[in-house]
A and B are shown apart, each in its own frame.
Chain A
Amino acid sequence: MRSWMKMIKELTIRPKGERKIRNSPSYSFDEDLKKPLSGQTVKEILSKSSDIVFREFFLQGKERIPCMLVVVDGLVDKNLLDEFVLKPLMVELVGHPELAKATLSNVVDITIQSLLPGVEIKKISEMKDAVSSILSGDSVIFFGDSSEAIVIGAKGWANRGVNEPIAESVVKGPHEGFTETLRINTSLLRRKIKHPSLRIISLKLGDMSNTDLVVTYIEKIASPDIVSEVLLRLGKIKMDSVIDVGYIEEMIEDNPYSPFPQIAYTERPDVLAGKLLEGKVGIILDGTPIVLVVPAILTQFLNVNEDYYQRAMTAILSRFVRYVGAFVAIVAPSVYIAVTTFHQEIIPTDLLMSISEGRQGVPFPALLEALTMTVVLEILQEAGLRLPKPIGQTIGIVGALIIGDAAVKAGLVSPLMVIIIGITAVSSYAIPYYDLSLAVRLTRFPLMILAGILGFFGMSVGLYAGLIHLLSLRSFGVPYLSPIAPLRIRALLQDTFVRAPWWALKRRPQLIDVEEPRPNGKG
């Protein structure tokens, strides 16, 4: 019994301090990593992997110096290494006056200062740095039994180009998106914010994956408290591997039990730049195009960056449609159930006649009818999502038209129910963030059940409970429903339900501490 309780506790309660997940096993070379740096030890550690290349050669200096270049095949640009590292050292510079002075004790400094022309060259003296650099795609040259080595940045692997993200496409605005390569992503960001105050702090996560990660923010705009909180929470993560941002999202969010997303994400450099200029903090992980943005508030998930590229009036209309869509997606089926089951007085007589005519012969109560149809909708959505695009479309057509029509003709559901479910589905597509859309889909079910049991009273209990839950949420200390509650009228009128014209966006959003006033517009 106790072990069961322990297991349930482990599965449901997130530890408060260090978040240790799947400890990596200890290896024989863990001790080797603590040894003094030497090419031979590195060879011992890495030689069992066939993709590691050890290229041994000699430098003809004052004395004959044995050298070894270690790289991972497929992670380096071989042409670059051949042309600008091996060729100069082995052929072109033979007899060079600087090379002629080289001995085992000064060869590292002479090579860096006078012989190799690259930008990314640095000296290392720690074993773990050498191994980590090699495995990250850098090239390392060891010189005899010297305790120093040279790291050359000559990364070059197959990567996806900068394309428009499918999930965040825009009509008006930039069409570039993040890729799976960290440095490309930081460069895309740097191209948007060419200011020295843009901070990019590098970290590594995952004992085995050694995944590179950067925390980025704009100094004096981002709240220092939030930045340090982000770094603190990231520092608490102890995992063996971090493959995607999803791994860290659940580890750092404030309330892990809420269905609502508390961390925003984007695949677009322009969105990230915009958010950083609002005082938020970005977390970019190597190996994924998804970038996390914290803190996040609910209304942010209903606004898109295209709002800022369109004219203010158009943006306001788009936002209005999205907010209405989200509301309809949550309440439409439950309103139908409540009205047809308990509150017929609210329906005008003509409509009531039409509804009851449509429901004649339907064997199920409205609650069961709605629940069944919503489950069918969920199945269709899930099935269409995982299939190749052309088959996915077919599923949609088969589901919506053929099954829906057949169900109505067979008298299993009323025509109005099909319309309601259709409206619900279309409305949920108006929610721009997939995570929020999922949360809305999830909250729909308890509301429908409450409406089926207690009508509008049940619905209001459900809606108020949802509101209290949202009010209790925080994202990195920022209230989730800000600027609605706590009420900040300026933020509300400036850039929440409506988007004021650019010339009126004189101040940055008030939801977090901002030290620097916005001089001209949003940033």
Chain B
Amino acid sequence: MGGTFLPIATFVTGAAGRDSWMAVLPGYAVGIPYGLMVLSLLTDYPHENLLQISEKLFSKWIGKMIGFIYIIISGYYGGLMLTVIGVIFEQSMMPLTPRLVFYLGGLMLVFYLVETGIEVFARFSEVAFPMVVITMVLIFGLSVPRIEQGEIFPILSEGLKPLYFGVLKVMPFPMEYILFLAGVLTFLPTGKQELRQLKTGVWRTVFLVGILNMLVVLIQILVFGPVETIRAAFGFLVLGKMVEISRTIAGVESLFMMVWLGSLVIKCCAFFFMTTWGLDTVFSKKGSKWRLALGAVFLGIASKFESGASLTSVATFVEFYLILPFAFVWIPTLWGVSRWKKGAGVQRNA
């Protein structure tokens, strides 16, 4: 989930127009087979992440190369997520405060989470996720009076083709989750029952997040219309700003921002973790010293960006041209080779 719900409407509506909300769920559903493929490798290679498995199956150097790409992608995208924290807080809440302050605040939380370990990170997500969902539902509910039903009609006026592009635009988001799953594999239990629970978890996560993001896109189209939805970089923040009940509850977007911070920290932290796992697997570099260095890299990436617009374009580039193709090719190939080698082994034994 992370901070996906903030820009998703802009991306997907840009590709699929007023019917974009219909492309969200199928786009997320692509993640299910990928997730199941990753988890199926868990039984054959317990307590090993996909980078270690790649080294075993593809040879050491190809595995290291994949690991290197994994580090670059996750490190850079993690830095971009830190930038998102700074940009949205500066733009929406405190324009006079230097962005560096937001970066440092966000990075401190990320660092604290990373230092306390993956278990605390999982529990943090467990607490933050319901808060995010409740806030989203609150915004949906409070935006209902602003809905103009005509904005989504006529449905499928341009046929199914735009939906295809919409699905393509959504696909990088579940792939981010899959890449995280590829790294976190080391910490997952390998028992039969736990594996079944994990597989159910993949289904649930993809559908829950898919449905929520679909609603995010739908409500923005209904309130702003497709043109305005494409124009607003972080449309959901604008929606939060518009919340008003009588004259008593208004201008509460700063409260919503408190919740979004938790959600963005989760996403940034997930990529921080991914990078540290990559560094550990490929270069055997771990420990606080390397984590500090990585924090500095994140900060360096974040401080490169001057405006929100440049951030959006770079993030789109990374998602669409790096994350999507990398995960799209790597996971099925690895899974296929694993199946093939397993089959060959069985035949040889027979």
Is A390 an interface residue when CB atoms closer than 8 A count as contact?
A: no
- Tell me, rounded to whole Å, the shortest Cβ–Cβ distance linking A338 to chain B: 8
Is A456 an interface residue when CB atoms closer than 8 A count as contact?
A: yes
Most buried by B among A348, A461, A465: A461
A346 touches B89 (CB 8 A): no
- Tell me, rounded to whole Å, the shortest Cβ–Cβ distance linking A491 to chain B: 14
A486 touches B126 (CB 8 A): yes
Is A455 an interface residue when CB atoms closer than 8 A count as contact?
A: yes
A468 touches B251 (CB 8 A): no
Is B93 an interface residue when CB atoms closer than 8 A count as contact?
A: yes
Is B137 an interface residue when CB atoms closer than 8 A count as contact?
A: no
Q: Cβ of A464: which chain B residues have Cβ within 8 Å of it?
A: 109, 261-262, 265
- Tell me, rounded to whole Å, the shortest Cβ–Cβ distance linking B218 to chain A: 28
Closest to A349 in B: B247
A348 touches B250 (CB 8 A): yes
List B residues 116-142 near A (Cβ within 8 Å).
116-117, 120, 123-124, 126-127
Question: Interface SS of chain B: helix, strand, loop or mixed?
Answer: helix
Q: Cβ of B296: which chain A residues have Cβ within 8 Å of it?
A: none
Q: Cβ of A485: which chain B residues have Cβ within 8 Å of it?
A: 123-124, 126-127
- Tell me, rounded to whole Å, the shortest Cβ–Cβ distance linking B86 to chain A: 10
**Contacts A456-B93, A458-B105, A461-B109 given: A467-B258 contact, CB under 8 Å?**
no
Report the count of interface residues on B (CB-CB < 8 A).
31
In whole angstroms, how far apart are the Cα atoms of A367 and B262 in the complex?
25
List A residues 438-476 near B (Cβ within 8 Å).
454-461, 463-465, 467-468, 471-472
A346 touches B254 (CB 8 A): yes
From A345, A460, A467, B251 is in contact (CB under 8 Å) with A345
- A462-502 CB mask vs B (1 if < 8 Å, else 0) is 01110110011000000101001111000000000000000
Closest to A463 in B: B258
From A343, A346, A465, A472, B108 is in contact (CB under 8 Å) with A465
Closest to A346 in B: B251
A348 touches B247 (CB 8 A): yes
- A334-361 CB mask vs B (1 if < 8 Å, else 0) is 0000000011011011000000000000
B93 touches A468 (CB 8 A): no
Most buried by A among B89, B120, B262: B120
- Tell me, rounded to whole Å, the shortest Cβ–Cβ distance linking A397 to chain B: 35
- Tell me, rounded to whole Å, the shortest Cβ–Cβ distance linking A449 to chain B: 13
**Contacts A343-B254, A346-B255, A349-B247 given: A468-B113 contact, CB under 8 Å?**
yes
B255 touches A342 (CB 8 A): no
B252 touches A346 (CB 8 A): yes
A457 touches B248 (CB 8 A): no
Question: Among B94-102, B173-181, B285-293, which stretch is in contact with chain A?
Answer: B94-102
A471 touches B120 (CB 8 A): yes
- B250-272 CB mask vs A (1 if < 8 Å, else 0) is 11101101100110010000000
**Contacts A454-B94, A457-B261 given: A486-B123 contact, CB under 8 Å?**
yes
In whole angstroms, how far apart are the Cα atoms of A345 and B250 in the complex?
8
In whole angstroms, how far apart are the Cα atoms of A377 and B170 in the complex?
54
Is B112 an interface residue when CB atoms closer than 8 A count as contact?
A: yes
B→A interface (CB under 8 Å) = 89, 93-94, 97, 101-102, 105-106, 108-109, 112-113, 116-117, 120, 123-124, 126-127, 247-248, 250-252, 254-255, 257-258, 261-262, 265
User: Can you list 16 A-B contacts (CB < 8 A)?
Assistant: A342-B254, A343-B251, A343-B254, A346-B250, A348-B250, A455-B254, A456-B93, A457-B89, A458-B105, A461-B261, A464-B265, A467-B127, A471-B116, A471-B127, A485-B123, A485-B127
